[in-house]
Every structure is written in C-alpha cells, then in structure tokens.
C-alpha cells in the first residue's frame, strides 16, 4: 500500500527523493484519519525552512493538522491544483495529491525517516 521508493515520517508524511530535491505528501493513513480535506495551506516558492519546521496546514471537516518538513531546504514548487481542489488529497494522496517539492539541502535529514516497511508497522501500532 505504501510505495517502497518513498520515505516516511512519524507525522504521516512521505517524501520521494529525486536527486537534490524531494516531493512531499501525506500518507493514505493520514488522509483517512483526517477525513474530507477542505483546505490546504502551503508555503510559498522560495521560502526556506529547517527540518521539523511547520510549513503549512491541512484542514479537514474534523480537524486542522500541521504540516512539517522532514528536511531543511528551499521550497521549489507547490501543487497549485490542491488549492482549488483539495479533494485530490483524499482521492490520491500518494501521487496526484503531492503537496510540494523541496530542496534536500542536507541528505543526513533523510536518515531519521522510515522505510515503507517500517512505516506500515508504525501505522499498525498507532491504530491499536
């Protein structure tokens, strides 16, 4: 269920590293827990963050969740389509529902992250 080429955070985000940058999104588990997403607030292209910084919010009918970046770096691109149609996040969180592309300034940030297998186990424990 969770793509094996992605890395995962404890905050239920995934990152797909492509060279010097990474595409960030939220996991199937996260979208399911949130329920229908109604609003997505993303940072602006060019903004710089440290890893673990809050970079945006996702609002659903149930809750408002903060979005954290697992890596330090500059925002290179955001998924504009989500702003108009946040439902994409519910329908396809692992591909079309990507949130943003961020520069991966420090590869060491990635070492803290979980593999798909580790994340699956983490989610199983969390849902008990």
Summarize as ranges the residues that interact with another protein (CB under 8 A): 33, 35-36, 38-39, 59, 61-63, 86-87
Q: Which residues of 46-79 are buried (b: 16+ CB within 10 A; e: fewer)?
A: eeebebeeebbebebeeeebebbbbbbbebeebb
Shortest Cβ distance from residue 38 to another protein (Å)?
A: 4
SS3 call for 83: helix
Q: Which is nearer to another protein, 1 or 87 (CB)?
A: 87
Q: Which is nearer to another protein, 66 or 117 (CB)?
A: 66
Shortest Cβ distance from residue 32 to another protein (Å)?
A: 11
Cα gap 1→65, rounded to integer Å: 23
Shortest Cβ distance from residue 37 to another protein (Å)?
A: 8
Q: Which is nearer to another protein, 46 or 80 (CB)?
A: 80
By the 8 A CB rule, do 31 and 37 touch? yes
């Amino acid at each position: 269920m969770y793509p094996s080429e992605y890395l995962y955070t404890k905050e239920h985000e995934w990152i797909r590293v492509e060279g010097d940058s990474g595409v960030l999104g939220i996991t199937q588990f996260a979208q399911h827990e949130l329920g229908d997403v109604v609003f997505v607030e993303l940072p602006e292209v060019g903004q710089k963050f440290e890893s673990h910084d809050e970079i945006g919010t996702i609002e659903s009918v149930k809750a408002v969740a903060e979005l954290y970046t697992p890596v330090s770096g500059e925002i290179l691109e955001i998924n504009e389509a989500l702003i108009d149609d946040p439902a994409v996040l519910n329908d396809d969180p692992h591909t079309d529902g990507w949130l943003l592309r961020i520069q991966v300034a420090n590869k060491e940030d990635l070492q803290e992250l979980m593999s798909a297998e580790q994340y699956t186990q983490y989610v199983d424990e969390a849902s008990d």
